[in-house]
Amino acid sequence: MAAEREPPPLGDGKPTDFEDLEDGEDLFTSTVSTLESSPSSPEPASLPAEDISANSNGPKPTEVGLDDDREDLFAEATEEVSLDSPEREPILSSEPSPAVTPVTPTTLIAPRIESKSMSAPVIFDRSREEIEEEANGDIFDIEIGVSDPEKVGDGMNAYMAYRVTTKTSLSMFSKSEFSVKRRFSDFLGLHSKLASKYLHVGYIVPPAPEKSIVGMTKVKVGKEDSSSTEFVEKRRAALERYLQRTVKHPTLLQDPDLRQFLESSELPRAVNTQALSGAGILRMVNKAADAVNKMTIKMNESDAWFEEKQQQFENLDQQLRKLHASVEALVCHRKELSANTAAFAKSAAMLGNSEDHTALSRALSQLAEVEEKIDQLHQEQAFADFYMFSELLSDYIRLIAAVKGVFDHRMKCWQKWEDAQITLLKKREAEAKMMVANKPDKIQQAKNEIREEIEEWEAKVQQGERDFEQISKTIRKEVGRFEKERVKDFKTVIIKYLESLVQTQQQVFKIEVLMNGRKHFVEKRY
């Protein structure tokens, strides 16, 4: 691919330079967290070195090879890459440091590189300034927080208002730090606006958290018990994750509706998000119609990539659902276990109290009770972490539904194109028939009409084709980005879960040691 284009400005087309540059590109993804943003002298010496021979693919970076590179990279993120070529400097200097520290090293340049058809060669083509500009445009420098749920109003008209805080250094926002109050239907309204604008062109718009009539009613009625506080907290966290996902998307970030949502103090109330409104019912009817249509569309898939990806997502969906159900069962049983343990601790304490024959026996019963308390602490911790895992799974189940929706839109687009083509064919046939038939009086006018129609449909066919290509291209890009995000999200959650598991284990261990010491002391006395 690169060999067909003009030689890159940063090298002279020799194989070695390509290899170097490939490493340079790999460099972005592996050393992002260690780079400085100053355009002047970077520190090449401090950068990790990589096993160049294993990763280079020669002058023509094939698609598969690139993937392998990136995979090897991810696996050996801490390995060293040595830089000694001066050509690397400009690339390094334009690399800004990320505002949000990721756990895995795949952030900034990822959206640029992930598509196989437009990768390293594109960067090579640009001049230094362009690269800088683009890299700056890709700065993921925006932090969103959702906090302070507050109940506003009374009775059935009450609602929870959440504070949405934004911290950013992006130029498109007027301030660098600001916050607004939003309610749940505002979030839903934002999602429906974004979805109507971007879904049908192939962008994966993150889905908003689900409505829950039961949960909200409890809150409205004013029940101040643990389940309603839990519900509010769950919702708050879900809203935060939703916004964070939405702003991570580079195209959606540019959207004026999103900006308005984040910035403006007053937002028009989104009424058609209510479940029982006219718009809601219309939505449901549309969904049903879509489902029926999907079954009837028979698409000739010319691109194996799409078929493969669809199958992959189908599998992933099934498995995530299964896992989610099992994790929910576990969370439920853990709750039960901690309740039972608390009950037992009480009984053990009472038993200890009644055993007043020997002070020793009482001490032992108390020890039993303390042990139970630790066990309970242990379970509560583990429960909290599983909950995080379970929420992630349900987020991704909804996200994959959005991805499937995008694929469906592509099918619909294809259908439209196909229909246009069929209609055009029919019109042409009609024209041909007319040419053959001999009806002089109607002919001229009819001929003109048909001519016009044919031109119209030709234009539609062309538009259909263009739309289809565009949506396919966008989907490829989006899916790549989605996959990257998914890997990152899962890995982060898994590591967090393990970390807290280890921590809890250490705490338990410490207390156990203490207790064991006490027991031995008591044993000796007896």
Partner 1 sequence: METHAEAGKEGKPSCASVDLQGDSSLQVEISDAVSERDKVKFTVQTKSCLPHFAQTEFSVVRQHEEFIWLHDAYVENEEYAGLIIPPAPPRPDFEASREKLQKLGEGDSSVTREEFAKMKQELEAEYLAIFKKTVAMHEVFLQRLAAHPTLRRDHNFFVFLEYGQDLSVRGKNRKELLGGFLRNIVKSADEALITGMSGLKEVDDFFEHERTFLLEYHTRIRDACLRADRVMRAHKCLADDYIPISAALSSLGTQEVNQLRTSFLKLAELFERLRKLEGRVASDEDLKLSDMLRYYMRDSQAAKDLLYRRLRALADYENANKALDKARTRNREVRPAESHQQLCCQRFERLSDSAKQELMDFKSRRVSSFRKNLIELAELELKHAKAEEHRLLALLHLLWR
Q: Which residues bind partner 1 (CB under 8 A)?
A: 71, 74-78, 104, 312, 315-316, 319-320, 322-323, 326-327, 329-330, 333-334, 336-337, 340-341, 343-344, 347-348, 350-351, 354-358, 360-361, 364-365, 367-368, 371, 483, 486-487, 490-491, 494-495, 498-499, 501-502, 505-506, 508-509, 512-513, 515-516, 519, 523, 526
Decide whether 285 or 360 has the Cβ nearer to partner 1.
Answer: 360
Decide whether 442 or 510 has the Cβ nearer to partner 1.
Answer: 510
Euclidean distance between CA atoms 67 and 71, whole angstroms? 6
Compute the least distance from the CB of residue 503 to partner 1, in Å. 10
Q: Which residues of 322-345 are buried (b: 16+ CB within 10 A; e: fewer)?
A: eebeebeeebeebeeebeebeeeb
Compute the least distance from the CB of residue 504 to partner 1, in Å. 10
Nearest CA to 109 among 49, 169, 24?
24
Q: Where are the alpha helices (DSSP H) in 297-358?
A: 304-354
Residue 109: count of CB within 10 angstroms of its CB: 19
Euclidean distance between CA atoms 227 and 224, whole angstroms? 8
Compute the least distance from the CB of residue 74 to partner 1, in Å. 5
Decide whether 254 or 354 has the Cβ nearer to partner 1.
Answer: 354
Compute the least distance from the CB of residue 501 to partner 1, in Å. 6
177-183, strands of its sheet edge to edge: 142-152, 159-168, 177-183
Decide whether 132 or 369 has the Cβ nearer to partner 1.
Answer: 369
Euclidean distance between CA atoms 235 and 518, whole angstroms? 45
Question: How would you class 56 by CB atoms within 10 Å of its CB: exposed for 0-12, middle for 13-18, buried for 19 or more?
Answer: buried
Decide whether 308 or 469 has the Cβ nearer to partner 1.
Answer: 308
Decide whether 73 or 420 has the Cβ nearer to partner 1.
Answer: 73
140's CB contacts (< 8 A; 6+ apart) are 98, 99, 100, 107, 108, 248
Decide whether 370 or 450 has the Cβ nearer to partner 1.
Answer: 370
Compute the least distance from the CB of residue 135 to partner 1, in Å. 24
* Residue 212 phi, psi dihedral angles, 5° rounding: -145, 105
Compute the least distance from the CB of residue 28 to partner 1, in Å. 17
Compute the least distance from the CB of residue 338 to partner 1, in Å. 9
Compute the least distance from the CB of residue 339 to partner 1, in Å. 9
* Residue 48 phi, psi dihedral angles, 5° rounding: -65, 150
Compute the least distance from the CB of residue 225 to partner 1, in Å. 23
Euclidean distance between CA atoms 475 and 414, whole angstroms? 14
Scanning the structure block, which residue is given the tokens 């895995």?
104
Question: How would you class 206 by CB atoms within 10 Å of its CB: exposed for 0-12, middle for 13-18, buried for 19 or more?
Answer: buried
Decide whether 219 or 348 has the Cβ nearer to partner 1.
Answer: 348
Decide whether 129 or 336 has the Cβ nearer to partner 1.
Answer: 336
Euclidean distance between CA atoms 480 and 472, whole angstroms? 12
Euclidean distance between CA atoms 323 and 319, whole angstroms? 6
Decide whether 106 or 273 has the Cβ nearer to partner 1.
Answer: 106
| 89: its two tokens | 């400097």
420's CB contacts (< 8 A; 6+ apart) are 457, 460, 461, 463, 464
Contact 441, 327 (CB under 8 A): no
| 496: its two tokens | 């967090």
Contact 313, 403 (CB under 8 A): yes
Compute the least distance from the CB of residue 381 to partner 1, in Å. 13
Decide whether 367 or 402 has the Cβ nearer to partner 1.
Answer: 367
Compute the least distance from the CB of residue 340 to partner 1, in Å. 5
